[in-house]
Amino acid sequence: MRIIAGTFKGKKLFSPNGENTRPTTDRVKEGIFSAIQFELSGKKVLDLFSGSGQMGLEAISRGAEFAVLCDHNSDAVNTIKKNIELTQTADKTKIISFDFEKTLEVIKNDAPFGLVFLDPPYASDYMLKALNILCDKNYLTDDAIIICEIEKATELPNTIGNFAIKKRYKYGSTNIVLFKKGSETLEDSHLPG
């Protein structure tokens, strides 16, 4: 696992031990960032189920302004700390270590966010709960992008609040769903890259 592009390009990141986290593969990550590469500059990022912190740190490497990295698992939090130290981004990051619902209460003062990564455990109902909270409160900027990583068989509603699925990228057993504000204009495709 590494930073693919930008300021920290090529840096190898630490991964949490065990099977409690499921890091996004480099190929899927590359596809995600290819899809949003022109929308990163100056964004404040929320990586809600952060694992290693790689998505938030990749965003900072590519021009995002700040990232809030959240995980409830202590091994993941220790890994995030090591990766922040490795990339020397302590001044551009903040770590939150609560369950996701408590985290969403705690980060209200850090909002609004322009980019959100959601990659909760596949066997949970956390994705839909998190989306409903984020889209119903003042957590997001008007031009915010929400990136959801889900299993191929998982379905998400086409609209949540004022947000709609704009694109769905299919990559093997993983689907990446991109939400933005506005009316529904769903477009299916394979991940670039």
- In angstroms, how far is CA 83 from the centroid of its own chain? 16
Q: Name the phi and psi angles at 42, rounded to 5.
A: 75, 5
Give me the amino acid identity at 23.
P
How far, in Å, are 7, 44, 81, 82, 101 from residue 88 at the CA level?
11, 18, 10, 10, 29
Are 172 and 24 within 8 A, CB to CB? Answer: no
Give pTM, 2 decimals: 0.91
Which domains, from first to last, does the chain contain? 26-190 (3.40.50.150)
Neighbours of 101 (CB within 10 A): 12
pLDDT tens, N- to C-terminus, the chain (193 residues): 899 999 999 999 999 876 556 678 888 898 899 989 999 999 999 999 999 999 999 999 999 999 999 999 999 999 999 999 999 999 999 999 999 999 999 999 999 999 999 999 887 889 999 999 999 888 999 999 999 999 988 889 999 989 999 999 888 888 999 999 876 666 555 444 4
Rounded Cα distance between 129 and 121, Å, is: 13
Structure tokens, 35: 């899809």
